[in-house]
């Protein structure tokens, strides 16, 4: 895990060393072990290294191939690099790093090398001979890559603040991104919160030569895969076990110790059990515990730790630590998000115990229909006949979908109950009605990124089983742009590499092809549980789900009131905000208006903090 950066001038103006150094310094937290630079004519590449595989200086970056034609900067891990290396017999390897394997693979296969890779990555290769730059991002979008391109230059980096450090991009907010943020608490492809800075799409590559850009989407989560046999449920469960074990085994590759988050829930328990089965010695497990019983899950974590004989560390925290660390967590946000504070605090606690790599159980709910909306979506499809009724009559109909009235009303007013119309409502933070009241009409009302992505993929989406349609929408929406982005920026703030086995693309491709009758949860994530039943004690499977559900609504009215109020007042002065409406909204929240959720208020607090911190206009 590292930070990468680069500048390419199309007019052959020499790249400035001070500028690339500023870029890497802006994200030094991503790689405290080493930094490196390549500067030649119009191009400059920079790298910050967190040493995980081949700890020697020989594996430092930017990395050169044997013939000195290419230079590579790479962020992430290539889990199957040994397998790929074995297929490249005509290259004289000088290191035991995954970095060199990527470069050798590109020299041999060009862009098609990505089809051989299994990992989380963003990498950039400069071809000194062709004067061509190539960028690629992993299939699931685990690792971020941002860029700015105009007629004269191309700039890229793992974080937007690195690009801003050049002074070549105005610190101006992107209006389209605001609509994304207020709807879904983060910003989706292709935008970022800064005008002129874009995100490279997950599962895609980009090539630039003489200022001309070529893009290709090499992997799509909605594309159906053929050749799977689902006729025997037992064999399906066996295949899930095999793919899960493979996913965990891949993510154990490391030359430093690997730990695991162990909450005591189903997903993290499965990961720890498979770590034990993978034969990598006693797993190092970490649980964050609390004296307050309503938050504490340490009892269940200890059951799993004892079952698999792990090197278990219980980290005792007070819920107040989340308040103590709040501003540090907000400072760590490269891009504003309504979530992520929990990941920051847990990552800090584990890093302080000396770990550089940790496995996480995040992703199990998205893949194995763990959220209530999966069942709700099936119920909605059973009631699809309602959408044959005129809209005026639909508005008075009742759906037992388990969502708030505003969402039910929006759903009943939509054209159809398909995934394209229901998923954006499910993940919505501010409703159109509230957004219209609080935010300038010049900002809202346009098609959001997730609506566009789902619409573009409609043909493929509708070929998937219904539950898999929800999973695919989750990957394109909340998972990629909030969950994974927060996992990256909050863990890397502490130089901790997170690895997520449930986001292994071989596993994802298989599970998304499974028919609904096999995946439909009899109880939460029953297909996952039944596939690895030998790993999970009954106490863990059937316990009440807890998690980090801290009383932010109470804190915002008490301990955080003055902090939040200052930011709300400042935000109300922004030209894209309706001042009186936002201040009234805040006062209504303080008076415990049941129609206002703390998450809606928090969006404005976080955004204003981020704008001030980064001096964005």
Query: 176-192, pLDDT tens digit by residue?
Result: 899 999 999 999 999 99
pLDDT, position 386: 85
CATH of 233-367+483-541, one of 3.40.50.450, 3.10.450.50, 3.40.640.10, 3.40.50.620: 3.40.50.620
Residue 281's contacts (CB-CB under 8 Å, 6 or more residues apart) are: none
What distance in Å separates the CA atoms of residue 9 and residue 302, rounded to the nearest whole number? 56
**Mean pLDDT along residues 350-358:** 93
* Predicted structure pTM score: 0.94
Which of 171-180, 263-272, 404-413 is least confident?
Answer: 404-413
Cβ–Cβ contacts within 10 Å for residue 552, how many? 17
Q: Where are the beta strands (DSSP E) in 50-138?
A: 63-64, 70-78, 119-127, 132-137
Phi, psi of 388 (to 5 degrees): -90, -10
Angle at 315 between CA 309 and CA 319, to 5 degrees: 140
Give the Cα separation of 307 and 289 in Å (integer). 19
Dihedral angle over CA of 595, 601, 604, 610, nearest 10: -150
Q: Does domain 2-217 have CATH number 3.60.20.10?
A: yes
The C-alpha angle 495, 496, 502, rounded to 5 degrees, equals: 145
The residues near 468 (Cβ < 8 Å, ≥ 6 apart) are: 511, 512, 513, 514, 516, 519
The Cα diameter of the chain in Å comes to: 72
Instruction: For residue range 508-517, list pLDDT tens digits in order.
Output: 999 999 999 9
In this predicted model, which residue has the larger pLDDT, 446 or 459? 459
Average pLDDT over residues 222-228: 86
CA distance 546 to 297: 7
Residue 342 or 198, more confident: 198
Least confident among 101-110, 276-285, 431-440, 532-541: 276-285
Q: What value does the mean pLDDT take over residues 201-211?
A: 95
pLDDT greater than 70 at residue 483: yes
Q: How is 530-574 classified by DSSP, letter by letter?
A: HHTGGG--HHHHSSPP--S---HHHHHHTTTHHHHHHHHHHHHTS
Selected residue with higher pLDDT from 402 and 144: 144
**Mind telling me the catalytic residues?**
2
Q: How far apart are CA 38 and CA 5, in angstroms?
A: 11
Terminal CA-CA length for the chain: 31
Bridge-based pairing of strands 43-49 and 34-40 is antiparallel
Give the residue among 386, 382, 389, 424 at the shortest CA–CA distance from 407.
424
**Per-residue pLDDT averaged across 568-594, rounded?**
96
Integer CA distances (angstroms), 267 to 23, 262, 271, in order? 37, 9, 6
> Per-residue confidence at 281, pLDDT binned at 50, 70, 90?
confident
Q: What is the mean pLDDT of the chain?
A: 92
pLDDT band at 358 (very low <50, low <70, confident <90, very high): very high
Does 346 have pLDDT greater than 70? yes
Which pLDDT does position 414 carry in this prediction?
Answer: 85
Query: How many whole angstroms separate alpha carbon 132 and alpha carbon 106?
Result: 13
pLDDT, one tens digit per residue, over 370-387 is 999 999 999 999 988 888
Residues 51-64 have a mean pLDDT of 94
pLDDT of 444 higher than 90? no
> Which pLDDT value is given to residue 272?
96
State the DSSP code for 439: B
Q: Where are the domains positioned within the chain?
A: 2-217, 233-367+483-541, 372-473, 552-613
Going by the DSSP 8-state scheme, the letter that residue 194 receives in this structure is B
Prior bond to 190 cis, omega within 30? yes
């Amino acid at each position: 895990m590292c930070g990468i950066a680069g500048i390419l001038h199309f007019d052959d103006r020499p790249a400035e060393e001070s500028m690339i150094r500023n870029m890497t310094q802006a994200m030094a937290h991503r790689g405290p072990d080493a930094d490196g630079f390549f500067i030649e004519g119009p191009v400059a590449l920079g790298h910050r290294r967190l040493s995980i595989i081949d700890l020697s200086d020989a594996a430092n970056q930017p990395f050169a191939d044997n013939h000195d034609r290419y230079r590579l900067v790479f962020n992430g891990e290539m889990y199957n690099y040994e397998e790929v290396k074995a297929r490249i017999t005509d290259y004289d390897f000088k290191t035991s790093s995954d970095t060199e394997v990527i470069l050798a693979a590109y020299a041999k296969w060009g862009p098609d090398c990505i089809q051989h890779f299994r990992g989380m990555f963003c990498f950039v290769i400069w071809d000194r001979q062709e004067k061509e730059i190539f960028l690629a991002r992993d299939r699931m979008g685990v690792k971020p890559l941002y860029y700015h391109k105009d007629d004269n230059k191309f700039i890229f980096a793992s974080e937007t603040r690195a690009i801003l450090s050049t002074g070549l991009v105005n610190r101006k907010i992107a209006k389209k991104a605001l609509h994304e943020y207020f709807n879904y608490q983060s910003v989706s492809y292709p935008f970022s919160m800064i005008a002129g800075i874009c995100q490279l799409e997950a599962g895609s590559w980009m090539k630039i030569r003489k200022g001309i850009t070529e893009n290709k989407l090499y992997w799509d989560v909605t594309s159906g895969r053929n050749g799977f046999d689902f006729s025997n449920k037992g064999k399906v469960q066996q295949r899930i076990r095999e793919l899960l074990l493979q996913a965990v085994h891949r993510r154990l590759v490391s030359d430093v110790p690997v730990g695991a988050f162990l909450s005591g829930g189903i997903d993290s328990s499965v990961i720890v059990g498979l770590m034990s089965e993978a034969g990598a010695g006693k797993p190092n497990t970490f649980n964050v515990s609390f004296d307050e019983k309503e938050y504490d899950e340490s009892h269940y974590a200890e059951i799993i730790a004892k079952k698999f004989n792990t090197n278990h560390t219980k980290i005792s925290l007070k819920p107040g630590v989340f308040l103590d660390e709040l501003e540090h967590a907000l400072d760590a946000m490269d891009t504003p998000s309504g979530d992520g504070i929990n990941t920051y605090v847990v990552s800090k606690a584990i890093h302080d115990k000396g770990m550089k790599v940790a496995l996480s159980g995040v992703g199990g709910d998205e893949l194995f229909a763990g959220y209530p909306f999966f069942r709700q979506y099936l119920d909605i499809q059973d009631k699809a006949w309602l959408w044959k009724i005129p809209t005026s009559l639909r508005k008075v109909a009742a759906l037992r979908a388990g969502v708030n009235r505003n969402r039910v009303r929006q759903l009943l007013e939509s054209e159809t109950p398909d995934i394209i119309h229901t998923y954006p409502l499910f993940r919505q933070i501010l409703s159109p009605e509230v957004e219209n009241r609080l935010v300038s009409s010049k900002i809202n009302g346009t098609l959001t990124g997730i609506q566009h992505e789902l619409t573009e993929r409609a043909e493929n989406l509708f070929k998937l089983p219904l539950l898999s349609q929800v999973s695919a929408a989750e990957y394109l929406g909340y998972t990629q742009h909030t969950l994974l982005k927060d996992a990256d920026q909050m863990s890397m703030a502490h130089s901790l590499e997170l690895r997520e086995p449930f986001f292994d693309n071989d596993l994802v491709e298989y599970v998304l092809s499974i028919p609904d009758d096999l995946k439909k949860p009899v109880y939460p994530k029953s297909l996952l549980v039944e596939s690895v039943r030998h790993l999970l004690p009954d106490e863990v499977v059937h316990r009440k789900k807890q998690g980090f559900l801290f009383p932010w609504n109470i804190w915002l009215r008490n301990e955080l009131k003055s902090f939040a109020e200052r930011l709300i007042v400042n935000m109300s002065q922004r030209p894209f905000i309706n001042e009186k409406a936002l201040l009234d909204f805040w006062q209504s929240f303080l008076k415990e208006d049941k129609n206002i959720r703390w998450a809606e208020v928090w969006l404005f607090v976080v955004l204003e903090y981020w704008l001030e911190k980064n001096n964005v206009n």
